[in-house]
Amino acid sequence: MKLPYIIIIDDDTQVLRAIQRDIRNEYRDEYRIAATDSAMEALQLIKDLKLKNETVALFISDQRMPEMDGMTFLEKANEIFPAAKKILLTAYSDIEAAIKAINNVKLDYYLLKPWHPPEEKLFPVTNDLLGEWQALYKPDPDATRVIGFQWSPKTHRLKEFLSGNLVPYVWMDIENDPEADRYLTSANVTKSSLPLVVLKDSSILVDPSLTDLGARVGLRQKAAKDMYDVLIIGAGPAGLAASVYGSCEGLKTLLIERSNPGGQASSSARIENYLGFPTGLSGAELTRRAITQTLRFGTEILTPTEVQDISLTDGYKITKLADGSEVHCKTIVIATGVAYRKLEIPGLDSFTGAGVYYGSASVEAHACRGESVFIVGGGNSACQAAMYLSRFAKEVNIIIRRPALSETAANYLVENVRMTPNIKVIADTDVVGCSGTNFLESINLRNAKTGEEMSVPAKALFVYIGAKPSTEWLGDLVVKDSKGFILCGGEVLKDKSFDKFWKLKRDPYMPETSVPGIFASGDVRFGATPGISAAVGEGSMAIRFVRKYLQEV
């Protein structure tokens, strides 16, 4: 297998030699390292590499260079190898330029000179970036393959599941990839049986369920222990944070997720407001890091496994899983978040996954190359999706009911959208109809002011119109508000029937529900501030009260 490249550019030959030496010492077994003192030469080199079908994983460029500054070089390099990570080498006086580059060239890091000792100042950064790059790069010729029709809902579900569970796979479109036919012949099936998954050991799964697929790619689905100190339901940011803190504090911790870890955050193309990541990071990357962290501390994860019921026996909690099995535990943290609201348009359901997507911009973006696509909704997630899709699609149209995006989205996102030439905002408008044969072909738009309707061709419609809490499965076990959000702490205390159901001498703890020892964190909690940081904070904090509860019983 050909090794990917790391390319270094600095006109100061002494600095160039020093960084080349450090990088070579650390990475020579996994990467080829090319270094030059000329930005023009570097550009020619990467054009040649592209022609030879080679890959670049990382660019490290000095900012101040006579022929071309580092920002300009990285911008041009980005057009040729958009997936490569980019580091700008700067002097202290260039920090302002470097911060500008975060937006302009999607810079991943700016590294202040000097970087000695490299073990402290250089390698932690390069290890992180190369790890992230490797997680998305799929050069393995024996990798799991998904073969199907691009616009098939079944295929979409498998792709979303694998990418959400961080299982690398190669996508093969039966209509555009001549090699894909070979697998149909091996499996002795016709196109009507698609999708297929070809596993690393060459065995073929025909249209598998997520549970079967999960088991075959090595995801755990059965609990290993008879009793857990804490069971966390939902592996979004709140659940993942709770699991890190639970395991880290030595509690026997089980985390159960019904689809793919990461929750809503996993479909975020770029999170820019999470503390400590000035250049932003994708939801997939945040999830990858969080899973690695929690597994390192010893958390057991079951996925895809749905919790369907909780019952109580002598203070212990018994949860029933979708496969009929039970898990016993002393405490529970419910972190089931919220699920996308459906766009209620006659006939639209049949196109889910076949042109209509709920929060899947990052999974389907490549299929939108050169197309005109539509987004419904004007919140932050809709704007983020638009920004991401604009890198692939010819045109991205955001459809909003209100007159302006500024009424519903954060300032910085409104500004980013405004400055992106291929994003158009269609204001005062509702989507009222759709049509197509096997996949979405057009949508009907109605102007809310004039009532005028028109049909526009649409191959993809991404829906971001809010969400409702995932708590129906809980029945009446805990007290909820009229929309289904779970009441905790002081809110439980305010309930009219509090004295009837609460028998302890103490009041419910801040994140505790109306059942002692059952806690709720993140978006699912009544009154929570939606967002990743808040969910992470709440999940981490819940464990403190889990411990207090465990000391009492």
Ligand X SMILES: Cc1cc2nc3c(=O)[nH]c(=O)nc-3n(C[C@H](O)[C@H](O)[C@H](O)COP(=O)(O)OP(=O)(O)OC[C@H]3O[C@@H](n4cnc5c(N)ncnc54)[C@H](O)[C@@H]3O)c2cc1C
Residue with tokens 């191959």: 459
* SS3 (DSSP) at 194: coil
Residue 35 CA, chain-centre distance (Å), reads 34
CB of 339 to ligand X, least distance (A): 7
Cα atoms in the 13 Å half-sphere on the side-chain side of 18: 15
* SS3 (DSSP) at 230: strand
Sign for the CA dihedral angle at 283, 285, 288, 292 comes to negative
Our finding on whether 532 is near ligand X (CB under 6 A) is yes
CB of 234 to ligand X, least distance (A): 3
Our finding on whether 153 is near ligand X (CB under 6 A) is no
CB of 25 to ligand X, least distance (A): 37
Site mask for ligand X (CB under 6 A), range 490-529, x = bound: --------------------------------xxx-----
CB of 375 to ligand X, least distance (A): 11
Q: Whole-angstrom Cα distance, residue 543 to residue 333?
A: 8
Q: Which of 246, 359, 511, 517 binds ligand X (CB under 6 A)?
A: 359
Our finding on whether 537 is near ligand X (CB under 6 A) is no
Q: Which of 337, 377, 378, 516 binds ligand X (CB under 6 A)?
A: 337
- Identity of the residue, 37 or 306, whose beta carbon is nearer to ligand X in the bound complex: 306
CB of 190 to ligand X, least distance (A): 33
- Identity of the residue, 491 or 523, whose beta carbon is nearer to ligand X in the bound complex: 523
Sign for the CA dihedral angle at 235, 238, 240, 244 comes to negative
CB of 502 to ligand X, least distance (A): 25
H or E segment and range at residue 25: helix 13-27
CB of 384 to ligand X, least distance (A): 5
- Identity of the residue, 23 or 233, whose beta carbon is nearer to ligand X in the bound complex: 233
CB of 315 to ligand X, least distance (A): 22
- The count of residues interacting with ligand X (CB under 6 A) is 37
- Identity of the residue, 195 or 379, whose beta carbon is nearer to ligand X in the bound complex: 379
Cα atoms in the 13 Å half-sphere on the side-chain side of 520: 29
CA distances from 525 to 183, 276, 464, 492, 508 (A): 47, 25, 21, 11, 14
- Identity of the residue, 306 or 512, whose beta carbon is nearer to ligand X in the bound complex: 306
Our finding on whether 235 is near ligand X (CB under 6 A) is yes
Q: Whole-angstrom Cα distance, residue 339 to residue 48?
A: 46
For the record, the structure tokens of 46 come out as 């990467």
CB of 370 to ligand X, least distance (A): 23
CB of 244 to ligand X, least distance (A): 13
* SS3 (DSSP) at 337: coil
User: Scanning residues 244 to 303, which ones bind ligand X (CB under 6 A)?
Assistant: 256-259, 263-265, 267-268, 271, 273
Site mask for ligand X (CB under 6 A), range 451-480, x = bound: -------------------x--x-------
- Identity of the residue, 61 or 264, whose beta carbon is nearer to ligand X in the bound complex: 264
CB of 237 to ligand X, least distance (A): 4
- CB burial string 289-303: b at 16+ within 10 A, e below: bbbebbeebebbbbb
Q: Which of 23, 238, 393, 488 binds ligand X (CB under 6 A)?
A: 238
Stretch that binds ligand X, among 85-93, 480-488, 507-515, 531-539 (CB under 6 A): 531-539
Q: Residue 206 pairs with which residues in a beta bridge? A: 196
Sheet holding 32-36, edge to edge: 32-36, 5-9, 56-62, 85-90, 109-112
Q: Whole-angstrom Cα distance, residue 232 to residue 334?
A: 6
Contact 39, 67 (CB under 8 A): yes
Q: Which of 381, 397, 429, 514 binds ligand X (CB under 6 A)?
A: 381
Q: Which of 307, 400, 431, 445 binds ligand X (CB under 6 A)?
A: 307
Our finding on whether 61 is near ligand X (CB under 6 A) is no
- Identity of the residue, 15 or 102, whose beta carbon is nearer to ligand X in the bound complex: 102
β-pairing, 423-426 vs 316-321, is unpaired
- Helical ranges in 28-179 per DSSP H: 39-51, 70-80, 95-104, 118-121, 123-136, 153-164
- Rg over CA atoms, the chain: 25
Stretch that binds ligand X, among 91-99, 336-344, 364-372, 436-444 (CB under 6 A): 336-344
Binding interface with ligand X (CB under 6 A)? 233-239, 256-259, 263-265, 267-268, 271, 273, 306-307, 335-338, 359, 381, 384, 470, 473, 522-524, 530-533, 535
